[in-house]
């Protein structure tokens, strides 16, 4: 009997949450490809560590996304799982935000997911199976002061998830959304130690989350046991958003 290796494509996979997802899936025997924008050294190191396939791509460019998916398909033959993880934050008052700042956040954190889904879905539909997991944020559920664009983009991912779950369910494809809370990644670089301690205190589990916490939830949703779960928005926030 031939057992087909499960395959996955992760966006924003060279560091932080994305890299943790690449590592976790690779450790579980998945064949993984991931895209990154500019972190060549980090991408090559992760590839050497996990055997995952690095693909350089600006996910805000639809032509590059189409080529990235074609490259992944040449390497993987098919894509069982798509994880839309790429995102970028911007802190500051909405009135101080430029048009370009707004577009960068929305394009990277929301429009890119549209581009990747559009490119990957036809193959999943033809095979009548597949998983899509969108990485949103607690701020997409409750909003955050001075992060209006990020909150709007992540809320958009929640809406995209719910709509696609209904659209793709008849084709055997599940679509779910994870909303991490305060996770220890580069996005927290602008916070002071006191700020981080306060955020940990506000979290019922009394600690900040890790990229590995999010990766574990992705692996669970990608597992066969989660095959009847779709259209869900699952918090990974230590109770912070309750």
Our CA angle for 10, 11, 14, nearest 5°, is: 90
- Active-site annotation, residues: 150
* 137 within 8 A of 86, measured Cβ to Cβ: no
Tokens read off for 59: 């996910």
Q: Match 């979290």 to its residue by tokens.
A: 203
Which distant-in-sequence residues (6+ apart) come within 8 Å of 2 by Cβ?
none
- Stretch (H or E) spanning 175: strand 173-180
Taking Cα atoms as reference points, which of 72, 105, 86 lies closest to residue 39? 86
Taking Cα atoms as reference points, which of 70, 153, 67, 43 lies closest to residue 108? 153
- Helix then strand then coil, % of the chain, to nearest 5: 50, 15, 30
Q: Match 């934050």 to its residue by tokens.
A: 89
């Amino acid at each position: 009997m031939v057992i087909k290796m499960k395959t996955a494509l992760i966006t924003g996979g060279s560091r932080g949450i994305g890299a943790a997802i690449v590592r976790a899936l690779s450790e579980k025997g998945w064949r993984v490809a991931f895209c990154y924008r500019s972190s060549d050294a980090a991408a090559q190191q992760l590839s050497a560590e996990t055997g995952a396939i690095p693909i350089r791509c600006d996910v805000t460019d639809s032509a590059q996304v189409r080529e990235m998916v074609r490259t992944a398909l040449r390497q993987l033959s098919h894509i069982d799982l798509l994880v839309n993880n790429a995102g970028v934050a911007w802190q500051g008052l909405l009135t101080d935000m430029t048009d370009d700042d707004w577009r960068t956040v929305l394009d990277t954190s929301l429009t890119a997911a549209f581009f990747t889904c559009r490119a990957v879905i036809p193959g999943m539909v033809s095979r009548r199976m597949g998983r899509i997991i969108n990485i949103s944020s607690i701020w997409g559920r409750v909003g955050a002061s001075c992060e209006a664009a990020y909150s709007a983009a992540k809320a958009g991912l929640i809406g995209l998830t719910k709509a696609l779950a209904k659209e793709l369910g008849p084709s055997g494809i599940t679509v779910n959304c994870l909303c991490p809370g305060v996770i220890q990644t580069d996005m927290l670089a602008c916070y002071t130690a006191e700020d981080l301690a306060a955020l940990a205190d506000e979290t019922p589990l009394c600690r900040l989350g890790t990229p590995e916490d999010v990766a574990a939830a992705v692996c669970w949703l990608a597992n066969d046991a989660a095959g009847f779960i779709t259209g869900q928005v699952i918090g990974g926030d230590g109770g912070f958003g309750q």
